[in-house]
Amino acid sequence: MDITLPYGRGHLTAEIGPAHPVRLLQNQEHFAERPPEEIIREAMTHPFGERLSTLASGKKSAVIIASDHTRPVPSRWILPQLLQELRQGNPQIAVTILIACGCHREMTPHELETKFGAEVLKSVSIVQHDCRREEDFVEIGTLPSGGTLKINQVAAKADLLLAEGFIEPHFFAGFSGGRKSVLPGISARESIFWNHSAGMIANPCARAGVLEHNPIHADMEAAADMAGLAFVCNVILDKEKRLVAAVAGSPQQTHRAGCEISRQMTQVKGKRTPIVITTNGGYPLDQNLYQCVKGMATAAEACTPGGVIILCAACEDGHGGAHFYQALKEAASIPELLDKIQKTPPEQTTADQWQYQILARILKQHSVIMVTRPELEKMVCEMHMEYAPDLESAIEMADRKVGTTGEITVIPDGVSTIFCAE
């Protein structure tokens, strides 16, 4: 069987021989019947709760929390309509875009212009969030889990706080979008670290597609409420990153509605198999190994214990996190690393701990083979994984490990898929 997988800024193709029956698990096809701008406009004019123009009336300032370069949010379509609605309700309102970098690096000028467009950048102020800049934060409450919530003072001082973003399955928050714009998006390092601490990540409900009883989601939703997030516009994208739906309005209702649309598009059922092949959805989400843990997490749900995960990702930016890389590289063994993490109290959570905790959890149960650029072979091996130059070689390696030439599950986009066992 011939398969085509998203890889970097293009695709990777391979043939899987008849010895391996393939179970292809991919999202349902959804085709938008209208242009993206019309879909967003429809959501904006028929929101959950009050229209943004009504909320803007009488306000002096508005802050729009916007996603950064690591998310494929079509901000060029969303931001102009948010600005139009704000200024329709209040032509004099001062607007600031606050980039929700979370723990990521700031965006470059080129990335800002590419994502938002020159016209938008001319008409607003831009502030890039830095979770380490302690002087930027104000404390606004206590999270349900007991952590202190500190957010960027630019958002805290706004008369009107809103956010754009997109909704897809998230490997420990259930789904992205909505409340994630506040926590982790514009929160202080200590608040993010508490929310992403070992006990929270280890909770069995902290998984893709799960909102009920998910403590990470509960913290995030509470953070959005405490911050006064009043309006969100979130979009849902298909596997080709095309906009197929949009939701807007009051945060909780809007997010829940968007999650259900996403669930219908992304939830698949299948039988667990000893070999699972997946990707991180191509660029921009496969630009580093840090992000690729998301695709691995989906594959782990579909893989039998002791099986092999094959992840295909270009990783243009390498590992994507120094602490993430060093933790795996310096670990004497995966069980030892996982035990150390699980004994770490919330207030002692370290940078990238959640990401290498999940990767360690995966590696304790499965072998991971990465099909990536040859210059990354050393890094991949240092992180307790194996390297393969192409998919055919990876399958041969996996066969030797599991001792079978049986069925293989292929999940073309691991980031945007929720796996449910039959």
pLDDT band at 316 (very low <50, low <70, confident <90, very high): very high
Please state, in angstroms and as integers, the Cα–Cα distance from residue 365 to each residue in 318, 337, 369, 405, following that order. 24, 14, 13, 20
Domain with residues 36-265, CATH architecture: 3-Layer(aba) Sandwich (3.40)
Kindly list the distances between the CA atom of residue 153 and the CA atoms of 130, 133, 249, 301, in Å, as whole numbers in the listed order.
12, 11, 23, 39
Q: What is the pLDDT of residue 412?
A: 94
Q: How far apart are CA 240 and CA 218, in angstroms?
A: 30
- Compare 363 and 106 and report the one with higher pLDDT: 363
**Distance between CA 336 and CA 363 in Å, rounded?**
12
In this prediction, residue 422 has a pLDDT band, given cuts at 50, 70 and 90, of confident
pLDDT band at 171 (very low <50, low <70, confident <90, very high): very high
Q: What is the dihedral of CA 47, 48, 51, 55, to 10 degrees?
A: -150
Nearest to 70 by CA among 312, 395, 294, 399: 294
Q: Report residue 1's pLDDT band, with 50, 70 and 90 as the boundaries.
A: confident
Residue numbers annotated as active site? 104, 170
- 67-72 average pLDDT score: 84
Segment 270-303, tens digit of pLDDT: 999 999 999 999 998 899 999 999 999 999 999 9
- Judged against a pLDDT cut of 90, whether residue 33 lies above it is answered with no
The ranges assigned to domains in the chain are 2-27+271-421, 36-265
pLDDT value of position 17 = 87
> Which three-class secondary structure state does DSSP give residue 26?
coil
Of the listed ranges 236-250, 313-327, 368-382, the one predicted with least confidence: 236-250
Residue 239 confidence (pLDDT): 76
- pLDDT for the residue 362: 98
Helices (H), 244-385: 251-266, 289-302, 322-330, 334-342, 353-365, 377-382
Scanning 61-168, the segments in alpha helix (DSSP H) are: 75-89, 109-116, 118-123, 153-156
Average pLDDT value for residue range 109-136? 93
Q: CA 215, CA 222: separation in Å to the nearest integer?
A: 11
Q: Identify the CATH class of 2-27+271-421.
A: alpha beta
What confidence category does residue 267 fall into, taking pLDDT thresholds of 50, 70 and 90? very high
pLDDT at 240 over 80: no
- List, for residues 331-365, the tens digit of each pLDDT value: 999 999 999 999 999 999 999 999 999 999 999 99
The distance in angstroms from the start CA to the end CA of the chain is: 23
Band of residue 39 on the pLDDT scale cut at 50, 70, 90: very high
Question: Which pLDDT does position 18 carry in this prediction?
Answer: 87
The pLDDT of 197-222, averaged and rounded, is 98
Model confidence at 69, in pLDDT bands (50, 70, 90)?
confident
CB burial of 246-263 (b: ≥16 within 10 Å; e: otherwise) equals: bbbbbbbebbebbbebbb
Percentage of residues in the chain with pLDDT exceeding 70?
100
Residues in contact with 38: Cβ distance below 8 Å, sequence separation at least 6, in sequence order? none
Asked whether 198 and 357 are in contact (CB, 8 A), the reply is: yes
Give the residue among 81, 36, 34, 8 at the shortest CA–CA distance from 242: 36
5 strand-pairing partners = 12
Amino acid found at 320: G
Does the N-terminal peptide bond of residue 284 adopt cis geometry, omega within 30 degrees of 0?
A: yes
